[in-house]
Amino acid sequence: MSVESIFPRLEALLPKVQKPIQYVGGELNSTVKEWDSADVRWALMYPDAYEVGLPNQGVAILYEILNELPGTLAERTYAVWPDLEKLMRSEGVPQFTVDAHRPVRAFDVLGVSFSTELGYTNMLTALDLAGIPLSAVDRGDDDPIVLAGGHAAFNPEPIADFLDAAVLGDGEQISIAITEVIREWKAEGRPGGRDELLMRLAESGGVYVPKFYDVDYHADGRIKRVAPNRPEVPWRVHKHTVMDLDEWPYPKKPLVPLAETVHERFSVEIFRGCTRGCRFCQAGMITRPVRERSITTIGAMVENGIKQSGFNEVGLLSLSSADHSEIGDVAKGLADRYEGTNTSLSLPSTRVDAFNIDLANEFSRNGRRSGLTFAPEGGSERMRKVINKMVTEEDLIRTVTTAYSQGWRQVKLYFMCGLPTEQDEDVLAIADLAKKVIRAGRETTGSRDIRCTVSIGGFVPKPHTPFQWAAQADHETVDRRLKALRDSLRGDREFGRAVGFRYHDGKPSIVEGLLSRGDRRVGAVIRAVWEDGGRFDGWSEHFSYERWMAAAEKAGVDVDWYTIREREENEVLPWDHLDAGLDREWLWQDWQEAVSGGEVEDCRWTPCYDCGVCPTMGTEIQIGPTGRKLLPLTVV
């Protein structure tokens, strides 16, 4: 039975809201299928505004893969801004997809991809607007399965009450497997209802269903154990790892936005995973092992993506793109192919010790030399050893000096404040480093037209990293150190005007820390914040620290206990039953190494150091070189 579009009702509201274009759909390469042509239907949500969500690679890849499956359709939905939310509530318009404007509640699955924990309240808004009960226990057989994925799903416990299921790791293969389980269950006449479907998903150990696990607590609030409450359910749920990226060359038909978005380019993921071992970096830990795309697949994806989309910028993405074993050949091959065209190439933030001026010159062949971005993360060398960011001051100065000498005039440097063992002088060292960068640039070029922008974020300890046991710095300490750093930079007559300074205060980091290492009791805080009007918490103009603290007090949750408290080695952590492949003992030892200043090499180029991922997950590091080259494109 077909489901009607709600667009006629929505259209009447659009003249009354800001940016109505983001709700109309119809983008180039979007897909609209007949409802009755599919027996399994996915609504894919990125829980933020269209301008942030549309460029998201994870959603874009699943959108294509699912729509290629016979008998399956996938549509997209995003968080609506408060002005439209208010009108939708008053007019009874439900949460809708942007592709065919169908009501989200009509779909079989609502898959939500969380890059950050600050999107949790937006999910609750979408559920409520859709008419889906917020609590999973209140949902019936006609409600969609609410499924979480993305990096934040590696600890879904704070939103466990609102989820039916969660998936860890790469989504390409498991999304197809879930689709087939649902298809089979529906074809059999939905035996056993919703519970039976969730049981079928949970039995494999590849899908986490929170309701099938009970959490017991000690009297002091620590977790005693997390245990399955049904015999068929495994004790641990494992992450998914795609081992041959060349088999999954997505997106093939990139979506071209109608409204302005945060990234307007065609992005190609050149490899997945990172083994640099930065102790703060959850993404690097949970996406292991490294798996490279071949140079020929990258070339084919770039050629096809430009042809299908018309984008004139191509971003080569990964956690550290200059670490691809054939990045020099990739850069030269692509630069040769597109020289003289309006197509430009870009790399994201580049490691200082992976930067190569020849590489940078290749990427700037068709574009402006606007700026280079590096992330030393720690201001002092001692701090960089603690976080295993093995970059010396000499490395940084040598690299930026080379860049300035080759025509670049702008360098951005990213740092964190509030790192474990950090002292005031470690943060003030950022100012010294920035001044040395400016001085080196001036001496090299003989020009005073040299700029350096320092950007600082608050550190948040994340699950599945060596810092998962660490105490988070309180926001007063972070703000005091940032103020001292700002004063040091602005008070310098010689360099102050040449150094830009951007920072986030410590309060949002505390809320992110509560959500990233929280357990199921934090769900009451999230719900209370949402009920009090919390929306778009990742946006500074919408975020309210006071609202979060009031909600925590109302829920009886001690924020300091979850954030600024250091954990003991044997404490059961809320995510210990969710397996990212990392050996817990190795993580603990690396945490001890951090405190003592020990460093760990990158196992791509050195012997294995037993993090546990490859043997646990049945995987292996996959890198080149392949020895292949990109051939010039045939001129038609």
Average pLDDT score over residue span 11-20: 97
CA distance 433 to 31: 50
For residue 636, is pLDDT > 50?
no
Average pLDDT score over residue span 87-93: 98
Q: What was the pLDDT predicted at 7? A: 98
Q: What was the pLDDT predicted at 349? A: 65
For residue 360, is pLDDT > 90?
no
For residue 367, is pLDDT > 90?
no
How does the average pLDDT of the chain come out, rounded? 94
CA angle 373, 377, 380 (to 5 degrees): 120
Confidence grade of residue 369 (pLDDT, cut at 50, 70, 90): low
- Helix spans in 188-294 (H): 193-203, 282-286
pLDDT in tens, 415-441: 999 999 999 999 999 999 999 999 999
Contact 198, 165 (CB under 8 A): yes
Q: What was the pLDDT predicted at 368? A: 61
Q: What was the pLDDT predicted at 562? A: 98
Q: What was the pLDDT predicted at 567? A: 98
CA distance 29 to 64: 10
Maximal C-alpha separation, the chain = 77
Angle at which helices 424-445 and 475-490 pack, to 10 degrees? 30
Contact 473, 510 (CB under 8 A): no
Instruction: Specify the range with the lowest mean pLDDT, choosing from 16-25, 58-67, 386-395, 505-514.
Output: 386-395
pLDDT in tens, 399-422: 888 888 888 888 899 999 999 999
The percentage of the chain sitting over the pLDDT mark of 70, rounded to a whole number, equals 99
Beta bridge partners of 456: 415, 503
Contact 388, 600 (CB under 8 A): yes
Q: What was the pLDDT predicted at 164? A: 98
Average pLDDT score over residue span 533-562: 97
Average pLDDT score over residue span 244-251: 97
For residue 635, is pLDDT > 60?
no
pLDDT in tens, 286-335: 999 999 999 999 999 999 999 999 999 999 999 999 899 999 999 999 99
pLDDT in tens, 483-509: 999 999 999 899 989 999 999 899 999
Confidence grade of residue 359 (pLDDT, cut at 50, 70, 90): confident
pLDDT in tens, 127-160: 999 999 999 999 999 999 999 999 999 999 999 9
Pick from 465, 468, 461, 473: nearest CA to 426: 473
Average pLDDT score over residue span 80-93: 98
The percentage of the chain sitting over the pLDDT mark of 90, rounded to a whole number, equals 86
CA distance 40 to 61: 18
For residue 254, is pLDDT > 70?
yes
The burial of 486, by beta-carbon neighbours within 10 Å (0-12 exposed, 13-18 middle, 19 or more buried), is given as: middle
Residue 266 Ramachandran class (φ > 0 left, ψ -120 to 50 alpha, else beta) = beta
pLDDT in tens, 191-220: 999 999 999 999 988 999 999 999 999 999
198 contact partners, CB below 8 Å, separation of at least 6? 145, 164, 165, 209, 211, 212
Which helix (H) or strand (E) segment holds residue 432: the answer is helix 424-445
Confidence grade of residue 347 (pLDDT, cut at 50, 70, 90): confident
pLDDT in tens, 48-77: 999 999 999 999 999 999 999 999 999 999
Confidence grade of residue 354 (pLDDT, cut at 50, 70, 90): confident
